[in-house]
Structure 1
């Protein structure tokens, strides 16, 4: 990545986000502030974004998830992940079925709606990117799907903490609800952190379980496209499990606690970079039809997620 003078506003704002994530007074709301600050800088100084911002965002997010692993016992990961398998399967099945059913009622491009469906049901932008390569989707279709999911993610980051006080869910149940109902990992973690570490850890494990569904979905789609199916597990999930295993058996609790706390700083940085994508052009590209389609799927996802969380 090459930095230029025009990138100075980006770097200064990023430094501010890191500071907010470290200060006890502001760290609770740091992720929300980071997202808004990123959007503000992006719309005010569009040239401030450095080249390779997408790769930076992905690296910051994956690093945050891996560091969160140092704050979790591997037994907890296995327990919550095992329970989350059937919950994520039910949620995914409902949303994908609904998405394909609604295809006939919207005038949007079919591939665009399919991308929105998989982004809503699995894990937002990562799912769209993975599925689009198999579907041979056009850049325009990917852009619309990404825009819809991104905007709904932004709403979720602020809506779920506000809803937390209005629903009768324990911190663990709230974490499950966030993980089942919010698209992107960044927004899941940001929203879940509002109720503390218990909610955050549950949401992180459950969300990674949901993310793993990318593998069989892409495998099946590739077979349908007449290609040779491939199975793979994202590296950051493997590293997350290794971090949790290390923290469970090695006698360095102070170090592991510090690493887990550092994860929250990386998450704030990731949300700041996500905010850079919240540009006026994204809203225009998503369009009313795309937002309505995505909104219907997301609304059902929220209800299904709440019911499943309540049964936990």
Structure 2
């Protein structure tokens, strides 16, 4: 296929993403990916003749999304995360297990769409949009399912950033306790930042770095969960064929691991983490591009009709994760 056929769609995605990136900086509580998704959704609804854009938009929503996940690995220093995040690890494991089991139980009880419940469950348990971005290609999720999951995660991120600092004060959480609470109970990294910053403003403290590290520790769960989903998806598709672990694991997940290891090894040898900052920023921009393309291809009517069930899953996951995080702090004597 000629490169020229890709250019119109990719160019539109880049232009919209530049706007979404800037607006995401101005409104971090919302974030660039969500803004890109909704601008893309608006453009897709307004433009009727989109054949010239189709090839580039599809490439952006699928391949660019996978490349973004690979570059995401350069933001993970495994040794630093293990050292600093070890205290919060039991809480992280319990909250992840709570969200995933809740999503699965709701899916089985109410026979809800498996793609949406999986994406919302993974997004709630790990790291919002990034986890959805990593999981969607693995389970071959439809654009409508991705857009619905991102919208639900965004909604509960807003609620968390607005209410959690006041809830933490009312409950009498310590600074360390709230950092762990924000890092384990808020879905997306930008929203964790907003929530922790709000606490710092209220109390004159500085818990932002600690909350972010707890969140990065939680992000590591992308690796085992996407690998597990890859194996499950492969077994489901190859029921009549012999199962192959090598075939089951997507290449972009393996490269994500390689990127994480490169960051870990080079920084342990004395390389500054700032070297990888451009790659991390490029990853964030490419995720915005992919979400813009997904929004562009999403059917608004389907998004609205699926919204109710997705909100049910997201709401229950959000509430139970929050309760699990607080309960584990009680059990461990941190609160």
TM-score in terms of structure 1 length:
0.68
Residue of structure 2 equivalent to 1:228: 243
Q: Does structure 1 residue 14 correspond to structure 2 residue 21?
A: no
Distance in 1 (CA, whole Å) between partners of 2:137 and 2:65 is 14
Distance in 2 (CA, whole Å) between partners of 1:146 and 1:300 is 22
SS of residue paired to 2:68: helix
Distance in 2 (CA, whole Å) between partners of 1:5 and 1:128 is 24
> What is the aligned counterpart of 2:82 among 78, 85, 90?
78
Residue of structure 1 equivalent to 2:94: 90
Distance apart, 1:213 and its partner CA: 3.1
For these two proteins, the number of residue pairs brought into alignment is 287
Q: Does structure 1 residue 67 correspond to structure 2 residue 74?
A: yes
Distance 1:145 1:3, change over 3 A: closer
SS of residue paired to 1:60: helix
Residue of structure 1 equivalent to 2:261: 241
SS of residue paired to 1:206: helix
Distance in 2 (CA, whole Å) between partners of 1:275 and 1:4 is 15
Residue of structure 2 equivalent to 1:207: 219
> What is the aligned counterpart of 2:320 among 284, 300, 304?
300
Distance in 2 (CA, whole Å) between partners of 1:203 and 1:264 is 18
SS of residue paired to 1:165: helix
Distance apart, 1:243 and its partner CA: 0.5
Task: Give 5+ residue unaligned stretches, structure 2.
Answer: 45-49, 198-207
Residue of structure 2 equivalent to 1:283: 303
Q: Answer whether contact 2:192 2:212 (CA < 8 A) is retained.
A: yes
Distance 1:203 1:294, change over 3 A: closer
Q: Answer whether contact 1:17 1:268 (CA < 8 A) is retained.
A: no
Structure-to-structure mapping, 1:113-124, within 5 angstroms = 115=118, 119=122, 120-121=124-125, 123-124=131-132
Residue of structure 1 equivalent to 2:201: none
Q: Answer whether contact 1:68 1:263 (CA < 8 A) is retained.
A: yes
Q: Report which stretch shifted further, 198-207 or 100-109.
A: 100-109
Q: Answer whether contact 1:31 1:271 (CA < 8 A) is retained.
A: no
Distance in 2 (CA, whole Å) between partners of 1:204 and 1:153 is 18
Task: Give 5+ residue unaligned stretches, structure 1.
Answer: 134-138
RMSD: 4.2
Residue of structure 2 equivalent to 1:57: 65
Distance in 1 (CA, whole Å) between partners of 2:9 and 2:307 is 30
Distance 1:116 1:45, change over 3 A: closer
Distance apart, 1:240 and its partner CA: 1.5
Distance 1:178 1:270, change over 3 A: farther
